[in-house]
Amino acid sequence: QKERLRHLVDLPSTTADGTAIPLLANVNKLADTEAALLYRAEGVGLYRTEFQFTIRDRFPAEDEQYEFLARSAERLHPRRLVLRLLDLGGDKTLPYFPLPASRNPSLAQRGIGLLLEHVDVLRAQLRAFLRVSADHPISILLPVVRGLEDVRRARDVVRQVQRELSEAGRRFDAEAPLGAMIELPSAALMARSLLREVDFLSLGTNDLVQYVLAADREDGGVAPSYHPLHPAVLQLIRSVAEAASSAGRELTICGEMAGDPTLTALLLGLGLRQFSVAPGELLEVKDAIRRVRLDAAEELARRALELGTVAEIVALLGATGR
């Protein structure tokens, strides 16, 4: 499989009719940085910082975080790294950071909301990010944004940390973009408003599907109801893509859907123009992008959006071969 695709490594990620579709890598662990380079990712669309925390038995100090991130950023320079703030709660936990017991962790505080309740952890991480920004292009991504409150409160903390760094004579990029993950239905519905206050959006379909369908992403038992091709999911994706395009802002899809080459044409048709995928999926997705014409992709998406059930959408994709 990989052998068949090897020739694609140095070919551009463009549709058959010539539109460039930036292909970025998701980095979950250190080795992914090397794999991203090997398969020529154009940057890191989602750097999950959780792994720096899970390999330790305590919160890493700011300097440790900085050094860890700077190593990846150096390897990938001058490509941009979208660094996501620590995403805890829900399916992601740390042994040394006990969360209040919850009957329903996915519905408890998580992501940026949780970090804002532990502002020291947030500040240390932001200081590390901003110090990296002095020498390498980075963007800051807020996980599990519920709405404008999260963005405003997080931006206030970013400004405070910037002031402190300036006062301490530390360099940083004051223009490092700030973006929001769209992975809750509330955020998807608020995309237009969010876009007035953030620089970019990142579509996290793993959680979005879970919350739109109330179906646990981790629980095999309800797996049949966890379906990325549910018409409600496609409609939300479409509306977020429209919002980003009319605001002229970048939107990247970084959930698992982005890495599934059988969905590439549909996602292009729904308006997505930037994909961030596991490094091992880069070539397959590039192959799919290079085979599709945007007009055909748009026609496919138009037909999919007219259908009312998962089964009909699956059948449509099956019938069109992708």
| Residues carrying an active site annotation | 254
Q: Which two tokens stand for residue 319?
A: 């019938």
Nearest-angstrom CA–CA distance, 146 and 164: 28
Which of 19/235 has CB closer to ligand PEP?
235
Instruction: Verify cis geometry, omega within 30 degrees of 0, for the bond prior to 78.
Output: yes
- % helix / strand / coil in the chain, to the nearest 5? 55, 10, 35
State the minimum distance, in angstroms, from the CB of residue 183 to ligand PEP: 4
Which of 42/183 has CB closer to ligand PEP?
183
255 binds, among Mg ion, ligand PEP, none (CB under 5 to 8 A by kind): ligand PEP
State the minimum distance, in angstroms, from the CB of residue 124 to ligand PEP: 20
Residue from the set 106, 206, 235, 320 that interacts with ligand PEP by CB under 6 A: 206
Kindly state the DSSP code that residue 100 receives in the 8-state scheme: P
Measure Cα distances from 271 to 140, 251, 322 in Å.
23, 10, 16
Residue 69 near residue 129 (C-beta atoms within 8 A): yes
Which of 46/161 has CB closer to ligand PEP?
46
Residue with tokens 């397959």: 284
User: What mask, x for binding ligand PEP by CB under 6 A, covers residues 2 to 21?
Assistant: --------------------
Residue 50 near residue 26 (C-beta atoms within 8 A): no
Positions 152 through 211 that interact with Mg ion (CB under 5 A):
183, 204, 207
User: Does 205 contact ligand PEP by CB under 6 A?
Assistant: yes
Which of 183/284 has CB closer to Mg ion?
183
234 binds, among Mg ion, ligand PEP, none (CB under 5 to 8 A by kind): none
Helices of type H across the chain: 2-5, 30-38, 50-54, 62-76, 111-117, 119-133, 148-167, 185-189, 191-195, 205-213, 231-247, 264-269, 282-291, 294-305, 310-319
State the minimum distance, in angstroms, from the CB of residue 187 to ligand PEP: 11
User: What mask, x for binding ligand PEP by CB under 6 A, covers residues 140 to 169?
Assistant: ------------------------------
Strand partners, 253: 203, 275
Q: What angle do CA 69, 126, 208 make, to 5 degrees?
A: 85
Strand partners, 200: 179, 250
User: Does 33 contact ligand PEP by CB under 6 A?
Assistant: no
Is 40 marked as binding a ligand? Answer: no
Residue from the set 254, 268, 282, 310 that interacts with ligand PEP by CB under 6 A: 254
State the minimum distance, in angstroms, from the CB of residue 200 to ligand PEP: 14
Is 183 marked as binding a ligand? Answer: yes
Residue list, annotated binding site for phosphoenolpyruvate? 48, 84, 206-207, 217
Which stretches of the chain bind Mg ion, using CB under 5 A? 183, 204, 207
Which stretches of the chain bind ligand PEP, using CB under 6 A? 46, 48, 87, 183, 204-207, 254-255
